[in-house]
Amino acid sequence: MAGRTGTADLPLHGGHAPRWLFSRMTALSREIVLALADEYGTAGVLARLSDPRWFQALGCLLGFDWHSSGLTTTTCGALKAALAEVGAEVGLAAAGGKGAASRRTPAEIEAAAPRWGLEPAPLVHASRISAKVDSAALQDGFEIYHHVLFFDRGGRWAVVQQGMNEGTGLARRYHWFSEALESFVCEPHAGIAGARADLVLNLVAHEASPAREAIPDLARRPPDRTVAELVQLQGMKLPERHALLLSDLDPRRLRSVFLATYAAGAEDFAALLRTPGVGAKGLRALALLAELLYGAPASFRDPARFAYAHGGKDGTPYPVDREAYDRTIAVLRRAVLRARLGRTEELRALKRLSAFPATTPPLETGPRPG
């Protein structure tokens, strides 16, 4: 599960799932979660949610548009609604959502974690730093607008969050999994699904280790000295990528950021990320200085057939077949109930279906830019 596991372009689409479809998505999500938790445990559910390909297949199976950014937000919404019904029973919870709902993630974690005797602080920390990494330490042109943290009674967690780039009309989804995580600031993602970007400042790449070591040293220097050096850089002839990174930096306006980093005195990169007020522009400025002053370069590498099960909201590959959808929910619900009574033959039959080889190639989710 470690490392990136795939990419898929997700065009930004407006609109929302109609009520008749969302209610079915929630019902089918509930039965899928119950079946997976019985078979693989809650860790198995979280591992699958952290896999961008599996998650994409789930969204397609639930009947959302296979090529839409809304697949992420609506699938997470259906899962969250399903866990509101059965989460206490299986030992899973979800916090967060789209827009304003994402900012309620810490409060929702603090409300749900005590039911299993969990200390909320580590989960709140995981939520906050994963969002900070993907919005500030990984600068790929996508602004985070959706964030959901799923967690279980054992304290394991998975994060699914998504950013948008209005200029290109594309979205990028980021997946995290606690059990695959060795560091929040060095190759932390279980997977990234999204559009390739022309220029990505990736401060959490393995090869960016020198920059992560140098940046906290720069952040602890007197702010006026740092500002003066940035002003000097703007008058120098720099490589193309540096010109792009400098294009929207105003050294004097960054002085307040450098005052915050100077006062915080963060000893390492992870602590610097936790400093209030330190965002993408401040880190970009410090990364430039780390490379040009200390020779510590950052990294610039860029990290569906399931739609045929029930159709898609926008009629692709065909309109959602409500009768077939309801049959799927009923079959899976019956299989889960019978399995809990010791009669597992129906779930075993469903499991055997997954062993058949795929007869159709994976669907491309859109043209790749560049």
The pTM (predicted TM-score) of the whole model is 0.77
**Is residue 368 in a domain?**
no
**Is residue 2 in a domain?**
no
User: Which residues have C-beta within 8 Å of that of residue 232, sequence separation ≥ 6?
Assistant: none
Angle (deg, nearest 10), helices 223-234 and 280-294: 80
Per the CB < 8 A criterion, the answer to whether 165 and 100 are in contact is no
Q: 182 and 223: one domain?
A: no
**Is residue 336 in a domain?**
yes
* pLDDT of amino acid 345: 61
Cα–Cα separations (whole angstroms), residue 202 to 138, 205, 212, 284, 358? 5, 6, 11, 10, 35
* pLDDT of amino acid 5: 36
* pLDDT of amino acid 18: 83
What token pair was written down for 185?
A: 């600031």
Please report, for the chain, how many H helices and E strands are present, in that order.
Answer: 13, 8
> How does pLDDT run along the chain (370 residues), one tens digit per residue?
333 333 445 777 666 778 888 999 999 999 999 989 988 999 999 999 998 888 888 888 887 665 677 889 999 999 999 999 999 999 999 999 999 999 999 999 999 999 999 999 999 999 999 999 999 999 888 899 999 999 999 999 999 999 988 888 888 899 999 998 999 999 998 888 766 665 678 899 899 999 999 999 999 999 999 888 888 776 655 555 665 566 667 887 888 899 999 999 999 999 999 999 898 888 888 888 888 777 777 776 655 344 444 555 555 545 666 776 677 677 777 777 777 666 566 556 555 444 444 333 333 333 333 3
Q: 232 and 263: one domain?
A: yes
Cα–Cα separations (whole angstroms), residue 7 to 144, 201, 358? 17, 18, 20
* pLDDT of amino acid 45: 95
Element housing 151 (H / E): strand 143-152
* pLDDT of amino acid 367: 35
* pLDDT of amino acid 69: 78
Upstream peptide bond of 239 is cis (omega within 30 degrees of 0): no
* pLDDT of amino acid 351: 56
Q: 318 and 263: one domain?
A: no
Domain span at 252: 206-294
Q: 158 and 20: one domain?
A: yes
**Is residue 164 in a domain?**
yes
Q: 43 and 185: one domain?
A: yes
